[in-house]
Structure 1
């Protein structure tokens, strides 16, 4: 079992406790059934002009990219590195190597995907992570992100970890294999032994997105003043990013239980994977100001009360989706309890926010045990035909798996159209 699950099923139960969402819609003349609205007076940005999209991924005037529609794909799998201790976060570095966080060891390592060599990160930042990170259950050293080359902190390393006073995001500079002293970006995120969220990623708009959990405190997800049970959108210094639904708040979306995957497709659509409790795990399209219903609804059935329904669901025994990546043809979720790479194919070339834009989920890569993270290979951009290369972290040494010789592993997965 991966996520802590309570004893009370909450599937298909919705209430009207969505005051923030209704207020956002009212500010722009939308009704309560339009959770994508943002308040008037919000700083204009491409993300808020069309709430289902981020900045255009191609220069203005060029054709917008489209998605590939592939009912089936084929996979080829090879080991890149072995012997990793409960790996959790995965991010590409500017030199073509990959940064990996080891949750319980409270360490960062660098993996060379060409040779499989694994090098430890040292320096004052590494000492801080080892000495100041709290582990236990799902807590520890979690998500990673690296500042994009055209952003405000190019090449800098951002980490999400559990500290004595809660979860937090820190940043530092990695020179070679030495990490500088770390400075805080976001602090005060609720923490617990489970439901810690932890995934962080830079969006196409250059801002940092932070996925948090409810830390076993159900009231936090619907409380706009709490950082728990949210997706946050901040600058590299931790300030609320321009264009947020509430200009004074880092909250981008709310009503989440435990988000552990964030990704964007080539059309700019934002997706997130989320642990359910007793009934449904979810894949969601994230819109600014959207309320995703927890704890009042799990799975579908909340749209009538102003909540945003997921576009795909799984029984909790079949998924526990952690990391997330998207290619030209589908979303790929790292399944922990489901022990599979979960594929949700795209069925419309221009995207969309409803379940009709997504095909039936598929379970792939079912012979490597628990999977924790998935990343598109930045050196091999996904092809227009749907081909792609993914890096996948297994998670069999995290205390809930059945380790095999060589676990845990970093895998290279080549995706090609079937046939």
Structure 2
């Protein structure tokens, strides 16, 4: 998007949100990670601490609020025409948002049952959307978490079809992020629903990253070809992103000490509940970076401009993390700390900007009259 276009966008958005309380000034608040309250033990801290931010490039800039007055926006993915599909956790609504902020209701997923952290969660646009017009959703029903698909007929969403069901559901830790990888398969994150032992149970779909076909079958080259499980030992993965080399990264809620950024390997065991953070030995894969939970509680994850971008809920900040050619995550730096409250989802738009959603209406934030919002960030 050109600078004149950005200027026009800000002016248009200012007019459309005039009926709301003014949003916080879009001036980045740049901070560095703070030290934990106590010195980490070797079993808690990774080899490279996120407190060592190192040098950084130009700071990201907030362009402005794209759309406001949303109700806990959770999933965001882009259609081939550049418009985005957005889900609302509490209402079950499926929305379309254009790059200039126009909002259209496409339909709703009535089977979604919101409670606690559950409801209508992730959305993924089919990589073959031009021919199949299909969207995929992750939702909580009265009995389970599941993935469904639905055809988008113009601007109207058809009735959904079950793709994969039977994923354990709970009041908390339901995972919910879904995304198609460079390999064309659908990756699905699940939480352990507050039942930690499920994360280590290879026969349970809870506490895992799953990898399936568009029809819900296990991807044929999964670690166990008959199982959708791609990796295990996860507490509650909330973000997925692939870098330029096709490596899969995942952001994950910790318990009471360390949140994690993991480089995901097929068949990898990431330790929960046997270990939180690092120090699990050869049986488990250590995270690349950890954060004290009050500085992160990471949700969405995106890749742009040679960096991972990680949204923090409790941390109320956007983390920028450099990714080396060798696949090492370094130099985490925080931006917009407490400027917009709880940050749920961050995605890279087709014009290489970031769309960042707030989550202040989720019962744990302090919403303004404009919340929840989608904010455009120039990385």
Within-5 A mapping of 1:22-41: none
Q: Return closer, same or farther for 1:80/1:290 CA change in 2, 3 Å cut-off.
A: same
> How big is each residue's C-alpha offset from its partner over 1:337-367, in whole Å with a ceiling of 9 and x where there is no partner?
0000111112x3x232xxxx22232111221
Structure 1: how far apart are the matches of 2:89 and 2:129? 29
Give 1:94 shift: 2.3
The equivalent residue for 2:11 is none
Q: Return closer, same or farther for 1:411/1:108 CA change in 2, 3 Å cut-off.
A: same
| Contact 1:12–1:298 (Cα < 8 Å) also in 2 | no
Q: Return closer, same or farther for 1:311/1:104 CA change in 2, 3 Å cut-off.
A: same
Structure 2: how far apart are the matches of 1:178 and 1:406? 27
The equivalent residue for 2:263 is 285
| Contact 2:80–2:129 (Cα < 8 Å) also in 1 | no
Give 1:305 shift: 3.6
The counterpart of 1:364, out of the listed 335, 352, 360, is: 335
The counterpart of 1:94, out of the listed 80, 86, 100, is: 80
The equivalent residue for 1:111 is 97
Structure 2: how far apart are the matches of 1:145 and 1:137? 22
Structure 2: how far apart are the matches of 1:185 and 1:373? 24
> Relative to total residues, which structure has the larger strand share, 1 or 2?
2
The counterpart of 1:186, out of the listed 164, 176, 181, is: 164
The equivalent residue for 1:41 is none
Give 1:412 shift: 0.9
The equivalent residue for 1:237 is 215
Q: Does 1:82 align with 2:51?
A: no
> How big is each residue's C-alpha offset from its partner over 1:182-218, in whole Å with a ceiling of 9 and x where there is no partner?
1111101111110000000000000000000000111
Structure 2: how far apart are the matches of 1:368 and 1:220? 35
Structure 2 length as normaliser, TM-score?
0.83
The equivalent residue for 2:9 is none
Give 1:112 shift: 1.1
Structure 2: how far apart are the matches of 1:266 and 1:183? 33
Local SS of the residue matching 1:191: coil
Q: Return closer, same or farther for 1:220/1:241 CA change in 2, 3 Å cut-off.
A: same
Structure 2: how far apart are the matches of 1:135 and 1:195? 13
| Contact 2:74–2:89 (Cα < 8 Å) also in 1 | yes
The counterpart of 2:285, out of the listed 294, 301, 308, is: 308
Local SS of the residue matching 1:119: strand
Structure 1: how far apart are the matches of 2:271 and 2:148? 29
Local SS of the residue matching 2:59: strand
> How big is each residue's C-alpha offset from its partner over 1:120-148, in whole Å with a ceiling of 9 and x where there is no partner?
123xxx3xx12x21111101000000011
Q: Does 1:248 align with 2:226?
A: yes
The equivalent residue for 1:54 is none
> How big is each residue's C-alpha offset from its partner over 1:10-32, in whole Å with a ceiling of 9 and x where there is no partner?
x9779xxxxxxxxxxxxxxxxxx
Give 1:406 shift: 1.1
Task: In structure 2, list runs of 5 or more residues that go unmatched.
Answer: 1-40, 45-53
Structure 1: how far apart are the matches of 2:227 and 2:145? 18
The counterpart of 1:377, out of the listed 341, 344, 349, is: 349
Local SS of the residue matching 1:224: coil
Structure 2: how far apart are the matches of 1:266 and 1:184? 32
The equivalent residue for 2:369 is 405
Q: Which runs of 4+ in 1 moved over 3 A?
A: 11-14
| Contact 1:94–1:155 (Cα < 8 Å) also in 2 | no
Q: Return closer, same or farther for 1:220/1:13 CA change in 2, 3 Å cut-off.
A: farther
Structure 1: how far apart are the matches of 2:66 and 2:160? 29
| Contact 1:269–1:351 (Cα < 8 Å) also in 2 | no
| Contact 1:148–1:154 (Cα < 8 Å) also in 2 | no
Give 1:328 shift: 3.3
| Contact 1:234–1:241 (Cα < 8 Å) also in 2 | yes
Aligned residues: 329
Structure 2: how far apart are the matches of 1:206 and 1:410? 28
Structure 1: how far apart are the matches of 2:224 and 2:355? 36
| Contact 1:12–1:297 (Cα < 8 Å) also in 2 | no
Q: Return closer, same or farther for 1:234/1:70 CA change in 2, 3 Å cut-off.
A: farther
> How big is each residue's C-alpha offset from its partner over 1:221-248, in whole Å with a ceiling of 9 and x where there is no partner?
0000000000000000110002100010
Local SS of the residue matching 1:73: coil
